[in-house]
Amino acid sequence: MKIRTPKPLILFFVFTVASAFAQLPVPAWLSQIKLSGINGTSDQKLAIINGKNFAIGEAYDLKLKGRTVRVQCLAIQEQSALVKIQDLPAPYALTMAGEIIPIGTAPAPVETTAPAAVAEPAKPAPAAPAFVFSRPVFHPSAIIPAFSVGIGSFLLWMFLAVIFGLALGAGAARFRFRKNLGEALLAATIDKHYSRPHLLLNNVTLSTPEGTTQIDHVLVADTGIFVIETKHYSGWIFGDPQGHQWTQQIYRHKSRFQNPLHQNYGHIKTLQSLFDLPADNFHSVVVFTGDAEFKTDLGPNVIRLGGLIPFLTADRPTLYDERKMTYIVGRIEMKRERRSLETDEYHINHVRSRLPGQAVKPNSRPSFAPPASNPFSASTGDEKYQPKG
Confidence band, pLDDT 50/70/90 cuts, at residue 42: confident
Q: Please write the tens of the pLDDT for every residue from 243-257.
A: 999 999 999 999 999
Predicted confidence at residue 243, as pLDDT, reads 94
Give the three-class secondary structure for 112.
Answer: coil
**Which residue range(s) make up the domain with 145?**
7-108+132-149
Based on the fold, state whether residues 86 and 215 are members of the same structural domain: no
- Residue 131: CB partners within 8 Å, gap ≥ 6? 106, 147, 148, 150, 152, 153, 156
What Cα–Cα distance (Å) separates residue 57 from each residue in 47, 229, 244?
11, 27, 26
Is the pLDDT at 2 greater than 70? The verdict is no
Q: Please write the tens of the pLDDT for every residue from 150-192.
A: 566 667 777 777 676 665 554 444 444 455 788 899 999 999 9
Based on the fold, state whether residues 58 and 145 are members of the same structural domain: yes
Predicted confidence at residue 375, as pLDDT, reads 44
Higher pLDDT: 381 or 123? It is: 123
Based on the fold, state whether residues 320 and 231 are members of the same structural domain: yes
- Mean per-residue pLDDT, 263-275: 95
Predicted confidence at residue 173, as pLDDT, reads 44
Is the pLDDT at 201 greater than 50? The verdict is yes
What is the biggest distance separating any 2 CA atoms in the chain, rounded to whole angstroms? 108
Based on the fold, state whether residues 328 and 374 are members of the same structural domain: yes
Based on the fold, state whether residues 140 and 210 are members of the same structural domain: no
- Residue 215: CB partners within 8 Å, gap ≥ 6? 203, 204, 205, 206, 227, 228, 229, 267, 270, 271
Q: In what order do the strands lie in the sheet with 92-95?
A: 59-64, 67-76, 80-85, 92-95, 100-102
Is the pLDDT at 193 greater than 50? The verdict is yes
Higher pLDDT: 389 or 331? It is: 331
Based on the fold, state whether residues 218 and 344 are members of the same structural domain: yes
Based on the fold, state whether residues 290 and 206 are members of the same structural domain: yes
Q: In what order do the strands lie in the sheet with 44-49?
A: 35-41, 44-49, 52-54
What Cα–Cα distance (Å) separates residue 190 from each residue in 202, 207, 233, 289, 310?
12, 27, 19, 13, 11
- Mean per-residue pLDDT, 14-24: 46
Higher pLDDT: 35 or 105? It is: 35
Q: Give the chain's domain count.
A: 2
Which stretches within 149-259 are classed as H helix? 151-193
Within a domain: 167: no
Based on the fold, state whether residues 138 and 214 are members of the same structural domain: no
Within a domain: 270: yes
Based on the fold, state whether residues 92 and 200 are members of the same structural domain: no
Q: Please write the tens of the pLDDT for every residue from 286-297.
A: 999 989 999 999
| Percentage of the chain modeled with pLDDT above 90 | 39
Buried b (16+ CB within 10 A) or exposed e, 291-303: ebeeeeebeebbb
Within a domain: 155: no
Within a domain: 124: no
Within a domain: 239: yes
Supply the pTM of this predicted model: 0.47
Predicted confidence at residue 364, as pLDDT, reads 40
Confidence band, pLDDT 50/70/90 cuts, at residue 223: very high
Based on the fold, state whether residues 211 and 143 are members of the same structural domain: no
Q: Please write the tens of the pLDDT for every residue from 300-332.
A: 999 999 999 999 999 999 999 999 999 999 999
Beta carbons within 10 angstroms of residue 189's beta carbon: 17
Does residue 135 contact residue 23 with C-beta atoms inside 8 Å? Answer: yes
Higher pLDDT: 357 or 262? It is: 262
Least confident stretch, 7-16, 204-213, 227-236, 326-335: 7-16
Within a domain: 320: yes
Based on the fold, state whether residues 211 and 313 are members of the same structural domain: yes
Within a domain: 159: no
Does residue 88 contact residue 26 with C-beta atoms inside 8 Å? Answer: no
Q: Please write the tens of the pLDDT for every residue from 67-103.
A: 888 999 998 888 888 999 988 888 888 898 888 888 7
Based on the fold, state whether residues 141 and 279 are members of the same structural domain: no
Between CA 84 and CA 71 the distance in angstroms is 6
Within a domain: 95: yes
